Amino acid sequence: MTATGPSRDAALFLQLVLGLQQSAMISLGKLMNPITRKAEADLEAARATIDTLAAIEARTRGNLEPDEARVIHQVLAELRLNYVDELKKAGGAKPQPGGS
């Protein structure tokens, strides 16, 4: 197997998805921001990150291994639920990211 073989590509893809998940969780105020050392919400940034993941899911549909598709689907579901929860706490009424 080459250095850019399927298992390396899968690992890099999952690293990207999980990195975006962590970024969104920081923006949702669920994780501490490593720069400010505070948990602070930025719902616009969170929505942008969730929408980015949704676009990645849509653009890669049919080209992912079952485990990759499952992970991105689960990450999006978790982030969308947390986004709606934080939106309710903030008293907003914006639509759920991803449009579904």
DSSP track, 20-60: HHHHHHHHBTSS-BTTTTB--B-HHHHHHHHHHHHHHHHHH
**Among candidates 99, 53, 60, 61, which has minimal Cα distance to 79?**
53
Q: What is the pLDDT of residues 9-22, one digit of tens each?
A: 999 999 999 999 99
**Among candidates 86, 67, 66, which has minimal Cα distance to 25?**
86
Helix (H) or strand (E) holding 6: helix 6-27
Q: What is the pLDDT of residues 11-51, one digit of tens each?
A: 999 999 999 999 999 999 999 998 899 999 999 999 999 99
